[in-house]
Amino acid sequence: MSRVLVFGDSLSFHGPDGPHAADEPKLWPNLTAAELGGEAILVAQRGWTARDAWWSMIGDPRVWADLHRVDAVVLAVGGMDSLPSPLPTYLRTGLRYLRPEWLRRAVRGAYRSAQPRLAVALRGRPMVLPAALTVRYLDAAVTALRVLRPELPIVAVLPPLHRAASYGFVHTGRDRTAAAVSAWSGRVDVPVVDLAAVTGEHVMSGQGNPDGMHWGWEGHALVGAAMAGVLRPLLAARRES
């Protein structure tokens, strides 16, 4: 049985109606694992970037244990990295800690209202994580994995498309991040699944989540099949070696 460890963002556990538990069979990590005759282990949170995946890899003892028994790793992060972030990440993520509660709600509401307008006005800059840093953290993760488990298949992703009003329908950083990750993947021999190519029509035609960012179940099925198609020969080669 193949065990696949997936580091992800909300795209790995949000469906057409919101977030779901990691064991929901229709989520793409579970669909991928099912096609491979195995199981998925999902390590993900909303808003995670390549940096968060790296921090989880080096800081979560549950991940350390999983890494000794999995058969493949998927670095399904990078989409959040390329989104507009008018506020620096440390300020944006720190809003949850504001007290009292009325102040937190007021500031968060003001930011949510301003974010799409600022994304348009600033033309998608700055991004949540610059493309060079996305590559840096992905590379650190792959380097560490290959030291620990040299034979372990690793797959990454290229950022998806979105039509999200919450970001002013702006995604000017997507191509920059995709190009950087593509170039890096060629250098380090890590195959990628292009999420924009796989789910672009699904999202842009309005078939996904009404938020314009997350996928419907059809989108999850498309990604699950695409990821399984990339992993299958890698796992077969590992068994034969």
**DSSP string covering 56-85:** HHHH-HHHHHHHTT-SEEEEE--TGGGSB-
- What is the pLDDT at residue 87? 82
CB 86 within 8 A of CB 17: no
Percent of the chain whose predicted confidence (pLDDT) is above 70: 100
68-89 pLDDT tens trace: 999 999 999 999 999 999 888 8
- The reported pLDDT for the residue numbered 91 is 85
pLDDT band at 37 (very low <50, low <70, confident <90, very high): very high
- The whole-model pTM stands at 0.95
What does the alpha-carbon distance between residue 62 and residue 72 come to, in Å, rounded to a whole number? 16
- Report DSSP letters for 98-118, one per residue: -SSHHHHHHHHHHHHHHHHHH
6, containing H or E segment: strand 3-8
Helix (H, G, I), strand (E, B) or coil at 194: strand
pLDDT reading at 20 higher than 90: yes
Asked whether residue 125 carries a pLDDT value surpassing 80, the answer given is yes
Residue-level pLDDT at 233: 97
CA separation (Å) from 55 to 23, 130, 220? 23, 17, 26
Judge whether residue 116 has pLDDT over 90. yes
